[in-house]
């Protein structure tokens, strides 16, 4: 049994939805002019670690795209498409 929060067949779909939720929560806090109150110290630590985690994801994504760029002669951006909401 793995320690992952998502099943592998829907990990990107679920994580993208979760990231959209986080963006919305931060946007709401900005609109309200008040920082979000974190429910626990664990939530605050996770919030604090998100920037580094997102930077790691971006670096790994670039490596992934570079590694697979020439698969079937197709450019990585065309093959994998844009990142973001549908």
The domain of 16 spans 1-37
pLDDT per residue as tens digits for the range 4-17: 888 888 999 999 99
Has residue 24 got a pLDDT over 60? yes
CA 56 to chain CA centroid, Å, is 10
pLDDT bracket for residue 65 (50, 70, 90): confident
Q: Are residues 61 and 86 part of one domain? A: yes
Choose between 72 and 19: higher pLDDT: 19
pTM of the model: 0.71
Tokens of 60: 């790994």
Q: Are residues 68 and 32 part of one domain? A: no
What is the mean predicted confidence (pLDDT) over 31-54?
95
- The count of structural domains within the chain is 2
Q: Are residues 67 and 31 part of one domain? A: no
């Amino acid at each position: 049994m793995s320690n992952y929060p998502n099943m592998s067949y829907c990990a990107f779909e679920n994580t993208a939805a979760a990231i959209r939720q986080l963006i919305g929560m931060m946007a709401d806090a900005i609109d309200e002019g008040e920082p979000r109150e974190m429910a626990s110290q664990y939530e605050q630590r996770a919030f604090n670690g998100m920037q580094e985690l997102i930077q790691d994801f971006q670096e790994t994504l670039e490596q992934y795209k570079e590694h697979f760029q020439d698969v079937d002669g197709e450019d990585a951006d065309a093959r994998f498409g844009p990142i973001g909401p549908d």
